[in-house]
Amino acid sequence: MATPNRYEELARSVSAIGAVKRGLARVLPVECQGGSAAVLALVNHHGDMRTSRLAELMAVDMSVCSRHVAHTVEHGWIERLPDPDDKRSRILRLTEAGHAMLGELDRRVTEAFSRHLAEWSDEDVELLSHLLARLRDSFGDCRAHHA
């Protein structure tokens, strides 16, 4: 059997990240799973925005994004405000409860990494963070580009 080239091995390794993501999802609060957590994180990071912009950032269909937004609104983590530029549209804004939930999400994920990577050196954790950021940057903004 031929020796796999570096990209084949990388493809297998990146596929295995799914197990890490599933493990992290298990530590999230039942009421705030992946989609809702992504809404909160993106609105926190990018600031107030329309649902259409959020759907672009999440790389999902508007209907999927709207369901996630509705869930966060029902829980009081996001509020919909009139768009000053277009009264027919709404702007999404993180609430105080949303900030609190983000703090809880960050705490849980950080604790999970701390538990699972306890044997790793600080340098290895830093290197992994750096390389993952570099990998993401190498792909650029691939949301609009489908293979």
pLDDT digits (tens, 9 = 90+) for 77-104: 999 999 888 888 899 999 999 999 999 9
Helix extents (H) in 2-121: 6-25, 34-46, 51-58, 62-74, 96-116
What phi and psi values does residue 91 have, to the nearest 5 degrees? -105, 135
Question: Which residues lie closer than 8 Å to 64 by C-beta, 6 or more apart?
Answer: 35, 55, 58
State pLDDT tens for residues 26-77: 999 999 999 999 999 999 999 999 999 999 999 999 999 999 999 999 999 9
| Single pTM value for the model | 0.82
Specify whether the CB–CB gap between 44 and 102 falls below 8 A: yes
